[in-house]
Amino acid sequence: MIILALDTSGPSLSVAIAREGALAYEATLHSGLTHSQNLMPMVESALNALQLKPSDLSLLAVADGPGSFTGVRIGVAAAKGLARACNTPCVGIDALEALAWGTGEKHDVVCPIRDARAGQVYGAAFQNGQRLLPDAVLQLTEYMNQVRPLGEKLLFVGDGVAPHRARIMELLGEQALFAQPHLMLLKAGAVAALAMQRPQDYVAAAELLPRYLRAPQAERLRAQKQEQND
């Protein structure tokens, strides 16, 4: 099986190829949210590096959120388009779960977070590959209250750590640990690895949907305006 994995759900763009159960290629670009310009050239580079054609692909895997609404849409749309063109199934992988998996941590509770703005985070919690908390969008203090009882040490990972690190340390003190800097950004290799474990979740391109925890900001503003008009 040859899996092409994509992540455009956060500030970095990552592309990976797994072949016969092993990671064969991975590249990550951290240049801000310019994913629509860079994604397909990176996919082409990945295929060329391994002398593959799109028709050689067996599965398209994508981090389907939560994360940047625009980024999630770009990745899901690209995966759907490639899956249709290659006549292959695809699978959406939870971005928070992939962040936790990427730490390789087997003991501490892992708390992946992404910045959801307005003082909020997308967060969950995992330990030994098992989910302890569902994905949610919460005020940071509310999320801290949920994870605090889960373990003596909590390992935080994700692009949501940097803007909230000082506050996390203030709230949790020595209970809070932080992943190494190179693990803070989601890598497509983690998406590919989880995809290998989820054959029951493979779907046709038409069935692949973004994982939104709340409506995009434009939709929320329209709804608020409609309520005011009513």
List, for residues 175-205, the tens digit of each pLDDT value: 999 999 999 999 999 999 999 999 999 999 9
Residue 57 lies in a domain: yes
**Rounded Cα distance, 93 and 211, in Å:** 9
Quickly state the pLDDT bin for 218 (edges 50, 70, 90): very low
Contacts of 4 (CB under 8 A, 6+ apart): 15, 16, 17, 43, 46, 47, 57, 59, 60, 61, 82
Please tell me whether residues 8 and 67 are part of one structural domain.
yes
Q: Is the full-model pTM beyond 0.95?
A: no
Q: Poorest-confidence range of 28-42, 125-139, 190-204, 208-222? A: 208-222
Q: What is the residue whose two structure tokens read 């801000």? A: 32
Q: Which of 38, 46, 41, 40 is nearest to 19 (CA)?
A: 46
Please tell me whether residues 35 and 76 are part of one structural domain.
yes
Tell me, what's the pLDDT at 230?
54
Residue 11 lies in a domain: yes
**Rounded Cα distance, 131 and 33, in Å:** 29
Please tell me whether residues 41 and 147 are part of one structural domain.
no
Range of the domain at 195: 2-95+185-224
Q: How does strand 59-63 pair with strand 90-93?
A: parallel
Residue 43 lies in a domain: yes
